[in-house]
Chain A
Amino acid sequence: MNVKHFLLIIGISLPLGVFAQELEGTVRYLMTHNWSKKYASEDHMSKQSKEREMYIWGSRSEWKEYTVLHLKANESKYMESEEKAEADMEGWSWRKDLFFIKRNFSNNTTQEAIPMTGKTYLIEDQIHPQNWKILNDLKEVAGHVCMKAFYRDSLKKQDIVAWFAMDLPSSAGPERFCGLPGLIMEVDINNGSLNIAADKIELKKLDKELELPAKLKGKKVNEEGYLTALRDHFKLQIDQDRPTFWGIRY
């Protein structure tokens, strides 16, 4: 335990390697939410209610959507896609919350707008990459052979498996995931509760895709401020016997 912690401290004190990135283009990710599995991975909910949820809704609790990651030089911007992944939703439009995660890997800075329980949190801070463990598995995602990495999010109580491409030199990734020696092509959270997988890579010159909206309204916080708000949300939901994923990005 302690050796691990000790080495970990050493690890954090070292800057992560940064690539001179020549990759420019847009990656489209398909997000597959599985509500029953999300519900089943809530430790504080009763076994009976989880089993009931799975029994009635298990076979059709999937919901798909697209997101995009724009990559340019040492920058990345992750946001929702205009495209709809659910054919049934063609012809219906939801209002979109302000959401983006913009990173500059040469300055090691991040600028994010993350909706949580009806509020928008505007995060400005250094990049805080996940403390990934690198595992010995290979898999192909969207034509690229990827290696497996693992991270346990102890606040959100999530087991996260990421697959990063060995041949795409970028530390970027979908959602808040980053810091691997290759572009993160797939992320699987809590055994399929949410799967985010790249399904289309378009290498092209980007123009204004990485620009931020002119008006940014929300609560300005740093990483710690955001995590504090998230922690409060989790505490309240658990106290109220409600699913923790309500009102936040999973």
Chain B
Amino acid sequence: MNKLARLLFALSMLCLYGTAWSQSPTRVTITGSVVDTSNNALPSPTLMLLNPVDSSLINFTRADNQGGFEFKNIKNTTYLLKISYVGFLPKQVVIQPSEKETIDLGKIKIQPITLELMEVVIRTAKAPLTIRGDTIEYDASTFKVPPGSTVEDLLRRLPGIEVDADGNIKAQGRDVRRLYVDGKTFFNDDPKAATKNLGAETISKVQVYNEGSEQSKLTGVDDGKKEKVMNLELKEEFKKGAFGKLTLAYGDQDRWAARGNYNRFNTKEQFSIIGYGNNINQTGVNWDDYGEFKGQSAYNWDDVDFGFSSGRRYFMMDGDGLRNWFDGRGFTQNAGGGLNYNFSQKKAKFNASYTYNQVDLDLNEFGFRQTFLADSSFSNSDTTLRADFRNNHVFNTRYENEIDSSNTIIVKASGRLSQNNSTNSSSQLFSSTNVLQKNRLSLDNDNDLNSWNMGAQAIYRHRFNKKKGRSFSFGGAYQNNNSDGAENIFNINRFFQANTFTDQVRQLNNNVNDLRQVKTSLLYTEPLSKKVFGEVFYNLQNTNNQINRQVRNLESNQRVDELSVFFDNQVTFNRLGTSFRYSHEGVNVGFGLAAQQIRLETAAAQDEGLPNFEAPLVRTFNNIVPNLSANVELKNNMYLGLEYGYQINEPRFNDLQPVRNVNNPAFQTLGNPNLQPERQHNMSFNFNYWNPASFISVNFNSDYNLYDSQIVYTQTIESNPSTGIRTTTRPQNLAGGNSLNSNMWINYPLIKTKLSMRINGGINFGLSPTLINDVANNTNNNGVNMSLGLNATPNKKLILDLSANINNQNISYSLREDQNQKIRNYGVDGSVKWNFASKFFLESNLDYNIFRNERLDFKQDVPIWNASVRRLVGKENKFEIRAAAFDLLNRRVTINQGGSLNFVTRNVANTLARYFMLSLSYNIKGYENKLRKNDW
């Protein structure tokens, strides 16, 4: 209706009102009293005056003790008077405008609700009762019947309904002659056909009401005969659905990709299937696809280790092997897929999944490494060709049951079967600065590794009902990891000296590794007051690791005794601790102490089953460790966090091994059975600020580690005409190492909703001590990185982003200050997302990266430009066609620059450069027809 019509209508209403006014009073008083069916007065019922059009509440009052009521001085118009009284059916009376000043409604009778409905439906079943005229309906699903029951079984339980032996139904004492299902006749007129055949679980509501007879329906004349009719309302079907996507892509140079997933679900179950394959370096799926695949079991955090973190390493299943992890080097062919099933009810949740993935990598990499000695340095350049195939079968299952409000149990089991075959062929050219000594080392290794892991975990939590906050938890886990590998090694070392000669090694290594870990944890929490909580925890962990490494010389076909070992290591960790927490008004502070013991037992023999070389070495380390944590929530969405802990970790198993590994004769490693546990102070600080009105956010965090005892790889470098330059690393405990890492993110909107700025930065300092040929060297690694970005959204169809970053790293060596390195990486990145026509999208980005190291005279610029156009097709945008160009300038290589201890490195790897691709995607639910911002 337009404005004029409305105005006219209002005017005419006013006129009508005026006419009425001339005859009737504008204000009236409504009186009356409320009685029950036997004319007894009902004390204080509630009376409501409603607008008859939409039942909106206009006025209300409460009657006196005799049920008498009065609405004084109210507008003289039509009302719906509603009377409500506990235990009675609400009654409605229409009140017309009156010509007199007082409208006396006299005695209004209200009907009681039958005791059955009141007690059984309202009080016991807690089901809402709906009254529509003379129909009373309620949610029948709140009445529990055994699974497999029919509607008849359900009806027998419902108040006011009787079902005799033959299945005839009576409602409120009268026969039910007709029965509808969802308002329609079911099969035929016999009500029993429905009640005996339908399952009780399909019914949501039962309605009983009076209906005119068939005859009156035909003639349209009310013959006064009413029949009891029952209507069964069917449950809104279990919410069912399905979604899925499929993408097929093909490009030049035979580039291809395929990816698909399909999910089916209802309120209780989720089932999904996913698959992918490509030769464009996507080794897995992204977070979104992984999340959809796992559904409601995508995010489970189950920690079996209770008490404050002691920084102990423990074994975790890393996702399902489906996630993309590509590091940018080389060319890969990939395939994978999986099945996932989730079941969830209010209390019980179950998940099972199986996934498979494989990656076939071809890598061609050039590496340069310069190593500094007290008086000299040497460098080696390394050309590596690597072919690597790996696959994983992963199985995961998890069951959670909240048995009741105080008991919860979680059980998990997982397994993995993996295979890895790789061929490495590397040619390393060594040259030394002061001595004209050069050699070329060719390494050809074939590795075959088969491994399997399996593990199980259980967590039980009990909350005491008597006292809020008192709880007890138990956690237990078992893990067994096993691998069996063979390394076939062929090395040739050629020396280019006055008398050129060649040294050759052919060797076959068999490595069998078996790890078994059992752990258990207990935690008891007691609220000491409203603000103070006490905790006691105990952790026990036993790890047994066996390595059998048998090295055979392929020329003599003899075991190489000095390189072969069967090594058995047992670590038993015990910790008993307590902590106190203060928790009030956003301040949460905790302090704890724990006594812990690490018992290390190592034994070595020539081979499994042979006597030990010497008696097992048993060492025990006892310590008291503190822990402090503070989290403070300040005003205005500011959060401060501070944590301090002292961590003690036993040495890694491989570092204790007493034999040499000579797979690469130029870089040999040797374990150290006398290693002590690593001991360090850990401190962390973080600050977060978030303004929900202006969207300014500031995050800062910082970590500092200081080692009392650090396991450091010391180096012994020998250079002699018969072996060339040979580096042997050996782990040793050294004190004084430290590191500081700080990061900051700031997001600052410059123009609300249109333009925002972000600043990211980080500072890191690190001091790593080491020994080079028994001379102490401290390497300082100082880095600063900074990035500044601008993001503009001028309108909903255009997003522009521009950012620049600087990454500076300075490395200084106390041994050779003249060799200090300055590594510089710079980058500029611009991107555009443009919805340039209906359903057409253009996306492009240019990433310009500059790599520098002046001392090594290294300079390389890598500009990468990608662009794509896509179009949504179909009524619900179910199809997407996309044409994409990757690395249009054909310049992509992957460069890593770094340095530590006494060396500086740089690696340049080839990878997928320019290619073009056309793809077609189908989404069951359709694609979003808008730009994705992804800003939250």
Contact = CB atoms under 8 A, between A and B. Distances in A.
B889 interface: no
Contacts of B821: none
B925 A14 contact: no
A8 B53 CA distance: 10
A131 B56 CA distance: 7
B587 interface: yes
Interface in B237-283: 241, 243, 263, 265, 270
B300 to A, nearest CB: 10
B875 interface: no
Given A95-B586, A247-B692, A136 B132 contact: yes
A91 B583 contact: yes
A6 B296 contact: no
Interface in B294-337: 294-296, 298-299
Contacts of B291: 52, 56
A122 interface: no
A83 B56 CA distance: 36
A11 B129 CA distance: 28
Nearest to B268: A59
B925 A51 contact: yes
Contacts of A212: none
Contacts of B51: 4, 7-8, 11
A197 to B, nearest CB: 11
Contacts of B610: none
A137 B57 contact: no
Interface in B122-147: 122-123, 126-132
A87 to B, nearest CB: 5
Nearest to A93: B583
Contacts of B926: 47-48
B48 A93 contact: no
A55 B295 contact: yes
A14 B54 contact: no
Interface centre among A6, A49, A95 (most CB of B within 10 A): A95
Contacts of A87: 405, 463, 468, 471
A140 B292 contact: no
Contacts of A134: 48, 50, 55-57, 82
Given A6-B13, A56-B292, A139 B128 contact: yes
Interface stretch (B58-66, B177-185, B705-713, B737-745): B58-66
A3 interface: yes
Interface stretch (A23-31, A102-110, A143-151): A143-151
A81 interface: no
Contacts of A132: 56-57
B84 A166 contact: yes
Nearest to B587: A93
B75 A10 contact: yes
Given A166-B46, A166-B84, A246-B692, A96 B585 contact: yes
A181 B691 contact: no
Given A95-B585, A136-B132, A118 B59 contact: no
B854 interface: no
A46 to B, nearest CB: 5
A247 B636 CA distance: 12
Interface residues on B, range: 35 or more
A136 B243 CA distance: 39
B621 interface: no
Given A92-B588, A118-B692, A133 B46 contact: no
Interface in A213-250: 236, 239-242, 246-247
Interface in A112-156: 117-119, 131-140, 145, 147-149
Interface centre among B10, B48, B471 (most CB of A within 10 A): B48
Contacts of A147: 84, 90
B87 interface: yes
Nearest to B77: A10
Interface stretch (B359-367, B826-834, B864-872, B928-936): B928-936
B533 interface: yes
B56 A139 contact: no
Contacts of A46: 928, 930
A58 B297 CA distance: 11
Interface string B737-761: 0000000000000001100000000
Nearest to B61: A17
A181 B62 contact: yes
Contacts of A117: 692-693
A58 B296 contact: yes
B595 interface: no
A47 B637 contact: no
B59 A17 contact: yes
B74 interface: yes
Contacts of B636: 118
Contact of A140 (B61, B123, B925): B123
Given A138-B90, A167-B86, A6 B292 contact: no
B796 to A, nearest CB: 9
A94 B299 CA distance: 23
A56 B298 contact: yes
A69 interface: no
A90 B692 contact: no
Contacts of B386: none
Interface string B692-724: 110000000000000000000000000000000
Interface centre among B122, B263, B349 (most CB of A within 10 A): B122
B292 A52 contact: yes
B693 A11 contact: no
A96 B585 CA distance: 7
Contacts of A47: 925-926
Nearest to A136: B131
Contacts of B84: 147, 166, 181
A246 B691 CA distance: 12
B525 interface: yes
B295 A137 contact: no
Nearest to A11: B58
Contacts of A71: none
Interface centre among B55, B126, B530 (most CB of A within 10 A): B55
A18 to B, nearest CB: 9
Given A90-B527, A93-B587, A138 B55 contact: no
Interface string B1-15: 100001001100100
A98 B263 CA distance: 45
Nearest to B469: A90
A91 B128 contact: no
B584 interface: yes
B601 interface: no
B82 A55 contact: no
Contact of B129 (A15, A55, A137, A182): A137
B344 interface: yes
A246 B692 CA distance: 8
B527 A91 contact: yes
A227 B50 CA distance: 27
A105 to B, nearest CB: 13
30 contacts: A2-B13, A4-B53, A6-B13, A7-B58, A7-B77, A10-B58, A11-B57, A17-B62, A19-B62, A48-B928, A52-B291, A52-B292, A56-B296, A60-B296, A90-B469, A90-B525, A91-B581, A132-B56, A134-B50, A134-B55, A134-B57, A135-B55, A138-B90, A139-B122, A140-B126, A145-B122, A147-B90, A180-B57, A182-B46, A246-B692
Given A46-B928, A136-B131, A139-B122, 8 more contacts: A11-B58, A16-B57, A52-B288, A58-B296, A90-B471, A93-B588, A95-B586, A138-B90
Interface of B: 1, 6, 9-10, 13, 44, 46, 48, 50-51, 53-62, 74-75, 77, 82, 84-87, 90, 113, 122-123, 126-132, 241, 243, 263, 265, 270, 288, 291-292, 294-296, 298-299, 344, 349, 405, 463, 468-469, 471, 525, 527, 530-531, 533, 581, 583-588, 633-637, 691-693, 752-753, 925-928, 930, 933, 936
A-B complex: 4 closest residue pairs judged by Cβ atoms: A95-B586, A247-B692, A90-B469, A139-B128
